[in-house]
Amino acid sequence: MPHGTRHLFIPGPTNVPDRVRRAMNVPMEDQRAPDFPSLTLPLFRDLKTAFRNEKGRVFMYPSSGTGAWEAAIQNTLARGDKVLMSRFGQFSHLWCDMAVRLGLDATIIDVEWGAGVPLDDYEKAIAADRDHEIRAVFVTHNETATGVTSDVAGVRKLLDAHSHPAMIFVDGVSSIASIDFRQDEWGVDLAVAGSQKGFMLPAGLSFLSVSEKALAASRDNRPKMDRCYFSFADMITNNDNGYFPYTPPTQFFHGLRTALDMLFEEGLENVFARHHRLAEGVRRGVAGMGLKLQAVAPQWHSDTVTAIRVPEGVDANAVLKIAYERYNTSFGSGLARLSGKVFRIGHLGDLNEVMCLAALASAEMALADAGARIELGSGVAAAQAYYRERHAAGAESREAAE
Amino acid sequence: MPHGTRHLFIPGPTNVPDRVRRAMNVPMEDQRAPDFPSLTLPLFRDLKTAFRNEKGRVFMYPSSGTGAWEAAIQNTLARGDKVLMSRFGQFSHLWCDMAVRLGLDATIIDVEWGAGVPLDDYEKAIAADRDHEIRAVFVTHNETATGVTSDVAGVRKLLDAHSHPAMIFVDGVSSIASIDFRQDEWGVDLAVAGSQKGFMLPAGLSFLSVSEKALAASRDNRPKMDRCYFSFADMITNNDNGYFPYTPPTQFFHGLRTALDMLFEEGLENVFARHHRLAEGVRRGVAGMGLKLQAVAPQWHSDTVTAIRVPEGVDANAVLKIAYERYNTSFGSGLARLSGKVFRIGHLGDLNEVMCLAALASAEMALADAGARIELGSGVAAAQAYYRERHAAGAESREAAE
Amino acid sequence: MPHGTRHLFIPGPTNVPDRVRRAMNVPMEDQRAPDFPSLTLPLFRDLKTAFRNEKGRVFMYPSSGTGAWEAAIQNTLARGDKVLMSRFGQFSHLWCDMAVRLGLDATIIDVEWGAGVPLDDYEKAIAADRDHEIRAVFVTHNETATGVTSDVAGVRKLLDAHSHPAMIFVDGVSSIASIDFRQDEWGVDLAVAGSQKGFMLPAGLSFLSVSEKALAASRDNRPKMDRCYFSFADMITNNDNGYFPYTPPTQFFHGLRTALDMLFEEGLENVFARHHRLAEGVRRGVAGMGLKLQAVAPQWHSDTVTAIRVPEGVDANAVLKIAYERYNTSFGSGLARLSGKVFRIGHLGDLNEVMCLAALASAEMALADAGARIELGSGVAAAQAYYRERHAAGAESREAAE
Amino acid sequence: MPHGTRHLFIPGPTNVPDRVRRAMNVPMEDQRAPDFPSLTLPLFRDLKTAFRNEKGRVFMYPSSGTGAWEAAIQNTLARGDKVLMSRFGQFSHLWCDMAVRLGLDATIIDVEWGAGVPLDDYEKAIAADRDHEIRAVFVTHNETATGVTSDVAGVRKLLDAHSHPAMIFVDGVSSIASIDFRQDEWGVDLAVAGSQKGFMLPAGLSFLSVSEKALAASRDNRPKMDRCYFSFADMITNNDNGYFPYTPPTQFFHGLRTALDMLFEEGLENVFARHHRLAEGVRRGVAGMGLKLQAVAPQWHSDTVTAIRVPEGVDANAVLKIAYERYNTSFGSGLARLSGKVFRIGHLGDLNEVMCLAALASAEMALADAGARIELGSGVAAAQAYYRERHAAGAESREAAE
């Protein structure tokens, strides 16, 4: 029986703020009450702000992010539709797998695990698609398995460059509300997020933010996949009045109200800046320990999760087990082909500098215990130096602003 | 801003016991931790006990009950499969609607709203199906919209009588864990339940209890519907080790642990007896007020929800609105064709006699305010008399047993 | 193991609103943090508003109300000081007992249990005290044991009429924040309240609201009683800056913040009106059952607790036991000489009409089970009629106001 | 508005475990219910175990520890009684101050702030007291202001050596349930503890563990101080049946139930060993940073709080302010004469290694920001080395035991 804080540094579920936990600890209520929409309608509105989606709408499903992936596909595509995808980690892999299983005709580009969406290859495929048969291009914004962030805006640019009408699907489960995301500006048609990451809620609710174009696609005459649970149409009929086609998890709505309030109080730009600062400290810490990232170049560095290569001869799974059992710390494991080679530090959501230092201190001990040659304190020191410097810079810029 | 308890008498979500709320108020945890299965594996085992399903298995989906309906169909049936259904209220109606939208070839028997599954008509259809083309027979165990309970065992008997191999699908969302349900004994193949009713949890988790035969059907060579999120196979691979194919809502598992403990501490038989006692008191109360039920005969009386006809000239929606605004009480509304004609008292889950009396007292006032001729106290008195008598009988039988 | 709501109708601790419970469920914090006063200073200010005490101050002690009684005496009086008291129930009895044990020279007037502070006798004693040796006059504003409210303003008037300088001590534990109380207007010098009654918090914090005159008395040259824990001076030094002389229960401060917000959102006048309305309904209910109150005349009726005489031959303790064991209901017991003759319904704090009807319905059954001849529903019906009438009147006056 | 965990390293209130917070989040209940003693009687029994007090009894007061100090004195001593005390930090100072204010004739020995109870001086005073006029010897077991632990057993020995009948009073607020304490074996007569330290509860409840001899003293014919709120006799009459003389804070009892369960599940010896291990790591860390403790020699090292001297020229208050504002960390301040010279790390209660490393990492940054020459990571590294070594040793001894 461990004592004290269970240190949670997985890339989701993330640490739910006390304020959100309090907000969710409510009695059940009547989801058909006359004043229920006064809770839900502002949530729909504010979620659109969080996605930077002015003209479309956001759906909330009682499901994991996987459910929202399926919702996106079922409502806008049909069996046999051509789509363009890429695979460079376990989550982009699973998305491809879903597409195939749901009957899409997917062109899947395999990329080194450690890089992201291959803009060049995508451009070639788009350029070659003269007849505009590709109905959708899929982008895993943040590949949680490798700690890699892709360039969504770049995909938009190349579609525009070729005047290609394909929709853009984005998996933003581990990016949205933590990393800059601009649905309208980037012309994203379907963006998937989950409650348990940047939205700082428990798992159990997914968000699907949909553009006008995607909504139109869901309504046009082409047949789509069979669906009921995830149907846009059923949702829209009810959501427009603040209600739901089936019993929604009302306690989540109270938590979401508070989570959105917290995001807006901090300011989304500041949320992103904080995630960047915390992440960069962790990366400095990893470098300070003499270790390498799974991300193959700085352009791919994720500000929500860092996948760390353990030294040759060390078993990353041993590091995880030691961290968990001796040091009350949960890190993310290496998934699929990365098992045993990588462990991951999730650094998103309700987090601060000293929590990141705790993660690094714990990782140093677990690595050393597992046989890695790590100078104790080296990672912590590198991160501390960076965090102090950023505070000094922040103080300076605040002073300059006065 | 109302004061005091918001009296919740809708047929779900039900009142979550304080003990369950406490149990769910946990920090997030690592759903891939080595000791996570010590939480989840006993839940799978104990859910089977709750469903009286010894040989099959139970799935837990992050979804509403509607999702579990869809899971049941997608995994075991194919487009064009013939099924036998009946419709006698809004929820059986919605299930039929789903079946049709998912492409099943459904024979739907319409029944008076106030009665339940028509065994005679089912028998005729089964008898006529010499070639055993009907793959599944659907039974809404408890129609929440009308307060009607159907005879699942009767469906089993008629299938057996005709040696018909069709699977039995049961919607037990508002019955299971509140009303007697015996999956193995009744040969039910797919039974759907939700967290927010008899299981006394918030909405957000659904349960699908599946027989060996249904599992075999999901695995046989016949093609089934496209699916990922609700796929049995993905679940089984992970569940067998205590894990999940996507992020599960771990806080629900802690709540479910406590809810199952509470059900077993009371004893399922006692849970059913309590529901019957409380329900019968409500029915006596309704009769005491001089009102009628939507259920057309005692054989259909539901022990979890009572749908009450308002007198001619009274608007049931006005009753609901008055109860909500003046008396802090939420009753269930009349759905679809029953709108304005019926209001419903949900009496399932964590409930006791005095709560039911409060419901009746509140209903009397709201009815009177809405123009009904109700003798104040008449419903309460009838229910009190019954509850006192049952306590006396209970005390007697306890004494006799000693 | 009972199911459903434990119906709590004792005159304190009262039902803590969910909103307050949520607010109190906070991590511990540094009670010497630089921003801690931003929590505490507004509480001191708003408590003064709740007591209608503009010029004095309010102390918060980690203690029960008994502690605040002791604080009031220790800081302003000395052994041998003459005080005027009256005794007409268990709580006024205990206060007298404390005064004697702490060495005061108390003139104690015994009054029938069922009446309140005897203004005539007080006037005689004051008139006779030509040398102004009586330093303080004690008033139990609301005697919780008998359901009797006394006339504090009347005591002020008679002191003024005789130009007598005695301080007025008020036990307002079960009145303040529920019943009209005006410290400045009534010239009350020391008013005691507790967290667990009208302030809707758990037990554990007491409030002592002190006039300028009482503060001056605590500082003058006359020796006072020995004290440290309850010392005004230690508190003042620290409270002025928002801190405390010893570790305060910070979680209560968060709860108090919310409780005060709720009181002010409703408006104190409306809080008092609601308590009167709920109480009058309970009294009508008692009369409807054919029972009598312990309060001997309407002028003494308390709006926070009703003490009910059981019929001859019925044991009130049996009523309590039956209500608790069969009907999950806690009523207050008859204390001291009222044991077995009286049971009490507490109706203060976070309460509404239907909760009071539940209390009456439960009481009817328990009384009947204990052998009383009670027409079931009779009390409920009388209360319902009153509540409906008040709602109609309220609606009318709201309309007239528009 | 800070994000993430507020890191709390003050020496109380300590971090309340989630399990305890959950246990305390209960509705109010009837403190006179027939089954209430089934909650409270085991608490009294188990508190005795925690104090190692077999024959005496433990009182629980709704108060801070200061209240229990006062209770100890009021019930067993009289104005003018001679007592022997020592003063070596802010809390022993305050206790002396209370003794004087309550009228005791206290011989107070001043000791360097950084050492503890002066056994030699105590022995001289005891030896000189031939007529046994000294009624009580006071021992601050753990001086929270300086991080110094005194030798209680040593005081027992010297009293025994001189066959002196004086009672021993112990302030164990920041030691009991964290550091070894043996009331019976050490012949302690009155031991004071508070809820918000080793007992891992919020502030608001104090414990006073009393020997048979002290109970006898409270009952003998000598007059004692005036008292009501803290009276042993009132408590005993009620506690013996599981009740209280005034409304107790029942929610604390549920939290205490869980806290005691946690202490016993871990085992008190293991609790003490954990506190020692965590504390020693912090001390290694402080040494690693090149800083000194306020405790002047290892014999005085406290396992619950470490007071750290900042380097010359650095303002400890600046360190505190920076830690709080930049790094979301609360440390304890230097009190009274130590203000500006010392900051304190509380390391007691629900705590683990990585939390202590976080405290050290945060302290390093705050010290450096405040101008101290600190090698970043140096303290963390020294503590990590120690923690890893202890885990290795622990693993070895566990293996040897198998």
Query: What are C6-20's pLDDT values in tens digits?
Result: 999 999 999 999 999
Residues B376, C380: C-beta atoms closer than 8 Å = yes
Residues D22, B26: C-beta atoms closer than 8 Å = yes
ipTM, 2 dp: 0.97
| D345 band by pLDDT with thresholds 50, 70 and 90 | very high
Question: Rounded to a whole number, what is the distance in Å from the CA of A7 to chain B's nearest CA?
Answer: 9
Residue C146 belongs to a domain: yes
Contact list in C for residue D230 (CB cut-off 8 A) is: 229
Of C15, C33, C324, the CB nearest to D33: C324
Question: Terminus-to-terminus CA distance in chain C, angstroms?
Answer: 51
A330 to chain B: closest CA residue:
B30
Look up the CATH number of the domain holding residue D130. 3.40.640.10
Among D264, D291, D326, which residue terminates a domain? D264
What beta strand segments (E) does C89-235 contain? 105-110, 134-140, 142-143, 148-149, 167-171, 190-194, 206-210
A252 to chain B: closest CA residue:
B204
Of A15, A228, A248, the CB nearest to B102: A228
Contact list in A for residue B102 (CB cut-off 8 A) is: 226, 228
Given a cut of 90, whether residue C229 has pLDDT beyond it is yes
Residues A259 and A291 in one domain: no
Pairing assessment for the beta strands A167-171 and A190-194 based on DSSP bridges? parallel
Residues B384, C377: C-beta atoms closer than 8 Å = yes
C26 to chain A: closest CA residue:
A18
Among A264, A279, A309, which residue terminates a domain? A264
Question: Rounded to a whole number, what is the distance in Å from the CA of D280 to chain A's nearest CA?
Answer: 17
| Residues D244/D250, Cβ–Cβ less than 8 Å | no
Residue A2 belongs to a domain: no
Mean pLDDT of chain D: 97
Pairing assessment for the beta strands B167-171 and A342-346 based on DSSP bridges? unpaired
| D335 band by pLDDT with thresholds 50, 70 and 90 | very high
**Which pLDDT does position D374 carry in this prediction?**
97
Residues B148 and B76 in one domain: yes
Of B18, B21, B26, the CB nearest to D18: B26
Residue C2 belongs to a domain: no
Residues B223 and B274 in one domain: no
Residue C372 belongs to a domain: yes
Residues D251, C62: C-beta atoms closer than 8 Å = no
Over residues A231-239, mean pLDDT: 98
D214-271 pLDDT, tens per residue? 999 999 999 999 999 999 999 999 999 999 999 999 999 999 999 999 999 999 999 9
Please choose, from the candidates B67, B131, B136, B66, the residue with its C-alpha nearest in 3D space to the C-alpha of residue B107.
B136
Residue B1 belongs to a domain: no
Residues D246 and D274 in one domain: no
**Which pLDDT does position D1 carry in this prediction?**
60
Instruction: Provide CB contacts within 8 A for D46, sequence distance 6+.
Output: D260, D264
Contact list in B for residue C387 (CB cut-off 8 A) is: 365
Please choose, from the candidates A373, A394, A391, the residue with its C-alpha nearest in 3D space to the C-alpha of residue A383.
A391
**Which pLDDT does position D324 carry in this prediction?**
98
Given a cut of 90, whether residue D402 has pLDDT beyond it is no
Residue A209 belongs to a domain: yes
Share of chain A above pLDDT 70, in %: 99
A25 to chain C: closest CA residue:
C22
**Residue A362 — φ and ψ, nearest 5°?**
-70, -40
Residue D143 belongs to a domain: yes
Mutation target for D interface from A354, A356, A387, A388: give the one with most D CBs within 10 A: A354
Please tell me which chains touch A, using 3 or more CB pairs under 8 Å as the contact test.
B, C, D
Residues C362, B354: C-beta atoms closer than 8 Å = yes
**Which pLDDT does position C1 carry in this prediction?**
60
| Residues D137/D159, Cβ–Cβ less than 8 Å | yes
Mean pLDDT of chain C: 97
D250 to chain C: closest CA residue:
C203
Residues D133 and D223 in one domain: yes
DSSP code string of D263-307: HHHH-HHHHHHHHHHHHHHHHHHHHHTT-EESSSSGGGB-SSEEE
Question: Rounded to a whole number, what is the distance in Å from the CA of A29 to chain C's nearest CA?
Answer: 13
**Which pLDDT does position B1 carry in this prediction?**
60
Question: Rounded to a whole number, what is the distance in Å from the CA of A270 to chain C's nearest CA?
Answer: 22
Residues A240 and A275 in one domain: no
Mutation target for A interface from B10, B16, B30, B91: give the one with most A CBs within 10 A: B30
Residues A203, B247: C-beta atoms closer than 8 Å = yes
A96-114 pLDDT, tens per residue? 999 999 999 999 999 999 9
Instruction: Provide CB contacts within 8 A for A379, sequence distance 6+.
Output: A285, A286, A288, A289, A360, A361, A363, A364
| C181 band by pLDDT with thresholds 50, 70 and 90 | very high
Which ranges of C209-267 does DSSP label H, i.e. alpha helix?
212-219, 232-239, 250-266
Region of poorest pLDDT, from A202-211, A308-317, A389-398, C132-141: A389-398
C70-107 pLDDT, tens per residue? 999 999 999 999 999 999 999 999 999 999 999 999 99
Share of chain A above pLDDT 90, in %: 97
Contact list in B for residue C355 (CB cut-off 8 A) is: 4-5, 358
Residues B226, A25: C-beta atoms closer than 8 Å = no
Over residues C192-216, mean pLDDT: 98
Residues B200 and B324 in one domain: no
| Residues D91/D144, Cβ–Cβ less than 8 Å | yes
Alpha carbon of residue C75 to chain centroid: 22
Residues D22, B18: C-beta atoms closer than 8 Å = no
Of B28, B203, B226, the CB nearest to A250: B203
Contact list in A for residue D381 (CB cut-off 8 A) is: 375-378, 380
Over residues C308-334, mean pLDDT: 98
Share of chain C above pLDDT 90, in %: 97
Look up the CATH number of the domain holding residue A299. 3.90.1150.10
Among A214, A233, A264, which residue terminates a domain? A264
Residues D198 and D298 in one domain: no
| Residues B356/B347, Cβ–Cβ less than 8 Å | yes
Given a cut of 70, whether residue D118 has pLDDT beyond it is yes
Share of chain C above pLDDT 70, in %: 99
Contact list in D for residue C32 (CB cut-off 8 A) is: 10, 333
Q: What's the rounded Cα separation, in Å, for the pair A64 and A245?
A: 18
C261 to chain B: closest CA residue:
B1
| Residues A112/A136, Cβ–Cβ less than 8 Å | no
A193-212 pLDDT, tens per residue? 999 999 999 999 999 999 99
Over residues D67-92, mean pLDDT: 98
**Which pLDDT does position A400 carry in this prediction?**
73
Residue C344 counted as an annotated binding residue: yes
Question: Rounded to a whole number, what is the distance in Å from the CA of D252 to chain C's nearest CA?
Answer: 9
Residues A95 and A186 in one domain: yes
Residues C338 and C257 in one domain: no
Residues of A near D (CB-CB distance < 8 A)?
1-5, 7, 15, 17, 25, 262, 265-266, 274, 326-329, 350-355, 357-358, 361-362, 364-365, 368-369, 375-378, 380-381, 384-385, 387-388, 391
Contact list in D for residue C100 (CB cut-off 8 A) is: none
Question: Rounded to a whole number, what is the distance in Å from the CA of B51 to chain A's nearest CA?
Answer: 22
Question: Rounded to a whole number, what is the distance in Å from the CA of C279 to chain B's nearest CA?
Answer: 14
- Spans of chain B below 70 pLDDT: 1, 399, 401-402
Residues pairing with C108 in the sheet? C85
**Which pLDDT does position C398 carry in this prediction?**
74
Residues A147 and A251 in one domain: yes
Residue C1 belongs to a domain: no
| Overall size of chain D counted in residues | 402
Q: Quote the domain boundaries for residue D95.
A: 18-264
Of C25, C102, C228, the CB nearest to D21: C25
* Backbone CA torsion sign across B42, B45, B47, B49: negative
Q: What's the rounded Cα separation, in Å, for the pair A155 and A151?
A: 7
C116-151 pLDDT, tens per residue? 999 999 999 999 999 999 999 999 999 999 999 999
B321 to chain A: closest CA residue:
A34
Please tell me which chains touch C, using 3 or more CB pairs under 8 Å as the contact test.
A, B, D
Question: Rounded to a whole number, what is the distance in Å from the CA of B343 to chain D's nearest CA?
Answer: 31
pTM tops 0.90, yes or no: yes
Count the domains in chain C: 2
Residues D204, C249: C-beta atoms closer than 8 Å = yes
Over residues D203-223, mean pLDDT: 97
Contact list in C for residue D250 (CB cut-off 8 A) is: 13, 202-203
Residues B167 and B81 in one domain: yes
**Which pLDDT does position A1 carry in this prediction?**
61
Question: Rounded to a whole number, what is the distance in Å from the CA of B398 to chain A's nearest CA?
Answer: 35
